[in-house]
Amino acid sequence: MTRGWGLIAAAAILLLAGVLRFAAFGETPPGLQHDEMFKALEARQLLSAGDFRVFYPSNQGHEGGYVWLLAVSTALLGANVVAIKFPAFVMGMLTVALTMRLGAHLGGRAVGLAVGGLLAVSMWGIFVSRVSLRAGMLPVFTALLGLCVISLVRRPRGLMAVAAGAVMGAALYTYTSSFALWAAAGTAGLIAVVSARGAWRRTAGRWMLVAVIGVAVGLPMIVARLSDPEGFNRSSTITRPLTDALAGHPQELIDNGARIVGMLAFAGDPEARYNIPGRPLFALPVGLIAYAGIAVIVWRARRRPEYAYWVGIIAAGIVPSLLTVSAPAYLRLVALMPAAALAFGLGCSLLPVRVAPAVMIAGVGLTAVLDIPAYFTTWTQLPEVSAIYRDDLEQLARQVRDDDRRWLVSTPDVEQDALTFSLYAPDVMSRIGFFDGDTTVALGDGAALALSSLSPLSEPHIPFMSEDMGAVQTGAIIDQFGRTAFERYDLSFSDALAQRIAAAATAPVYLWPQPALERGDLDTYAQLLALPVTFGGVVELIGFELADRDIAAEFDGVNLQLYLRPLARDSRSLSVFVHVLRRDGTIHAQRDLMGMPANQWIAGTVVVQDNFVIMGPSNAGHYVVSMGLYDTATGERLTIDGTDGVDHLLLGRVRVRARE
């Protein structure tokens, strides 16, 4: 192939890669996921408040590099979804271009085109380019350092050693798996020194310079990792296979290794978050060629540092998935992306010259035919995917913008879904409140209610959705696939609802400031209060329903419905505690819950939450139910307005029956 035709083919591959990474930009994935939300909000905070950090502690801690990129994208494109996705697109395109260049250096022009073509159309390559996560930066640095190693080996110069060290150090700011680049550079340096023979001192000096520059550039991140308590928090939560192996149970670690080895053609990421569960990276013929290519890399690495680098990438790059759950985890293995594509190209180079180009074209074509519809059609329509990539929140945002009423929304992850929603419609956040439908229902006269299919109401709260209770269903909010994302209701305080709230408000509540309780009914020794009772000036208890006051000694609990009325939105992380107390004042059982977080409260609404307390095995006798609110960040309780610092109410007694 002539140079001119090669350039045309390379341009066509990049054009195809661009189309596949930009097509259906706002539709596949269906919406934003929570990890994308955290990075986007941090980027906006960086722009608005100058919150520049090397290491961000949120979401179990992560490197700052991608947040910096997002801040640049947001500054250029505005605070919108395109700005959130654009850095991933750029990183994906750079990965294709740099890996194509690598293939040309290591195997010739045809290998480079095969490598670039495979990355352009593979589901793995497309996927990482369309999800705005920091992991997408790492393949760029893997490929870039690989090019630096080639230049350092073939045209050894001090300036190239500086460049290689700078890339290696900068990689630490991208993704946790970046340590693989350090291991790979060390492997390449070792082979370079051993192969240099008489010139080993000069060669060793250049590679030492790489290490020194790498440490200098990466030192702030190294210090942050070692000093920040969140520095290794993420890895510590997912390393069960390693923990079990060290405890003498290595089976999961062995299984992980087998699945990772087979991921090119026989096994795949089991999580729908980043893959069609269980789908291998490549079709069987392409995967088998890639295995042959890995053998080529290993064989040539014995004396050639530019190949030894890729042995290091493969060996170290599998570690993050090997030692953690859900192997092979494609995102944790992302450092291997250029290596997997290179393996296919180098495997093809073993074939006869006349056969190899046809096999390369067939392999890329087969991958395109299988992977493009797999990503854009099969994967994106999986129900599990819609539960992760929240198109439902985007559709909800469109409805809320067009309807200026107060909105109350059930959702499975209140805190994170509210933050994700804020990326779609930041201007309406003051009039929308999210609650957990599994434990809570929020009601408001004249408000609109959206019940998520992912967070339906629990059985005790379903009656509130009847027309008798003032809830009139007015349709549904539909996602992009035509599925119901939310059932929509118009709310009013009907007579039936008002009567139920009024009945709950007649229940007596009591003050008792002493830790120990006395015998007998509460009204014989505690101070009776009238509802509503205000806690800390921010929320009222307006009523409660304490059912089943006679309970079994085992497998039973206290069935309590609390009616709360927020007075104002509060930024604190408040929670309700419900304690079941023994007569000496000690806690026998408890439940802490705030089904509608204080930062989602809307003044004037009524929040009904199910505070069912599981009792566990209990001795026969009487117990007292108490409740109050506290700040989960500080542990400080809210005091009851109009009292001398009293911080809890007594709601009533329950009796545990003797065992039969």
d(CA 626, CA 331): 47
Q: How far is CA 492 from the centre of its chain?
A: 37
Query: Alpha-carbon torsion 146, 151, 156, 159, what sign?
Result: negative
Q: Work out the pLDDT band at 235, boundaries 50, 70, 90.
A: low
| Residue type present at position 438 | D
Question: Could you tell me the maximum CA-CA distance found in the chain, to the nearest angstrom?
Answer: 99
Contact 624, 653 (CB under 8 A): yes
Would you state the pLDDT for residue 233? 55
356-373 helix and 109-121 helix, angle to the nearest 10 degrees: 10
Would you state the pLDDT for residue 237? 52
d(CA 188, CA 81): 41
Query: Alpha-carbon torsion 325, 330, 336, 339, what sign?
Result: positive
Contact 536, 639 (CB under 8 A): yes
Distances from the Cα of 72 to the Cα of 76, 157, 335, 651, angstroms: 6, 33, 24, 55
Contact 60, 234 (CB under 8 A): yes
Distances from the Cα of 12 to the Cα of 5, 221, 349, 358, 423, angstroms: 10, 38, 22, 18, 35
Of 418, 435, 351, 397, residue with least CA distance to 605:
435
Would you state the pLDDT for residue 243? 84
Q: Work out the pLDDT band at 399, boundaries 50, 70, 90.
A: very high
The DSSP output letter for 329 is -
Contacts of 562 (CB under 8 A, 6+ apart): 541, 544, 576, 578, 608, 609, 611, 627
Distances from the Cα of 524 to the Cα of 394, 510, 513, 519, 583, angstroms: 55, 11, 15, 9, 14
d(CA 144, CA 137): 11
Distances from the Cα of 244 to the Cα of 249, 250, 325, angstroms: 5, 6, 11
Instruction: Report the share of the chain in percent with pLDDT over 90.
Output: 87
- Mean pLDDT for 273-292 is 97
Cis, peptide link before residue 617, omega less than 30° from 0: no
Would you state the pLDDT for residue 227? 83
Instruction: Report the share of the chain in percent with pLDDT over 70.
Output: 98
Contacts of 619 (CB under 8 A, 6+ apart): 553, 656
Please spell the DSSP secondary structure of 156-181, one letter per residue.
--HHHHHHHHHHHHHHTTT-GGGHHH
Would you state the pLDDT for residue 325? 87
What does the H/E/C string look like for 557-595?
EEEEEEEEEECCCCCCCEEEEEEEECCCCCEEEEEEECC
Would you state the pLDDT for residue 548? 73
- Mean pLDDT for 369-390 is 96
Instruction: Reduce the DSSP state of residue 461 to 3 states and report it.
Output: helix
Cis, peptide link before residue 328, omega less than 30° from 0: yes
Of 398, 404, 441, 489, residue with least CA distance to 595:
441
Structure-block tokens of residue 355: 């056969």
- Examine the pLDDT at 1 and tell me if it is beyond 70: no
- Mean pLDDT for 467-487 is 95
Tokens 């469109």 belong to residue: 398
Contact 56, 64 (CB under 8 A): yes
Strand partners, 440: 609
d(CA 408, CA 406): 7
CA distance from start to end of the chain:
89
d(CA 270, CA 280): 10
Of 525, 638, 652, residue with least CA distance to 573:
638
Of 210, 207, 181, residue with least CA distance to 194:
207
- What's the alpha-carbon Rg for the chain, to the nearest Å? 30
Contact 282, 275 (CB under 8 A): no
Q: What is the mean pLDDT of the chain?
A: 94
| Residue type present at position 539 | V
Judged by average pLDDT, the poorest of 214-223, 224-233, 341-350 is 224-233
Q: Work out the pLDDT band at 446, boundaries 50, 70, 90.
A: very high
Work out the number of other CB atoms within 10 angstroms of the CB of residue 16: 17
Instruction: Reduce the DSSP state of residue 472 to 3 states and report it.
Output: strand
- Mean pLDDT for 415-437 is 96
Structure-block tokens of residue 246: 């060290």
Q: Work out the pLDDT band at 311, boundaries 50, 70, 90.
A: very high
d(CA 260, CA 297): 18
Residue pLDDT, tens place only, 540-573:
999 999 987 888 888 899 999 999 999 999 999 9
Tokens 């350039």 belong to residue: 7
Contact 546, 651 (CB under 8 A): yes
Residue pLDDT, tens place only, 252-262:
999 999 999 99
Would you state the pLDDT for residue 553? 87
- Mean pLDDT for 7-23 is 96
Distances from the Cα of 327 to the Cα of 178, 258, 322, angstroms: 18, 9, 7
Residue pLDDT, tens place only, 45-90:
999 999 999 999 888 889 999 999 999 999 999 999 999 999 999 9
Structure-block tokens of residue 420: 């994700």
The conformational region for residue 345 under phi > 0 = left, psi -120 to 50 = alpha, else beta, is alpha
Q: Work out the pLDDT band at 229, boundaries 50, 70, 90.
A: low
Burial of 19 (0-12, 13-18, 19+ CB in 10 A): exposed
Residue pLDDT, tens place only, 179-202:
999 999 999 999 999 988 777 888
Strand partners, 452: 486
Would you state the pLDDT for residue 239? 75
| Residue type present at position 58 | S
- Examine the pLDDT at 314 and tell me if it is beyond 70: yes
- Examine the pLDDT at 451 and tell me if it is beyond 90: yes
Residue pLDDT, tens place only, 483-495:
999 999 999 999 9
Burial of 77 (0-12, 13-18, 19+ CB in 10 A): middle
Distances from the Cα of 507 to the Cα of 390, 525, 528, 542, 566, angstroms: 41, 17, 11, 10, 19
- Examine the pLDDT at 231 and tell me if it is beyond 60: no
d(CA 306, CA 188): 6
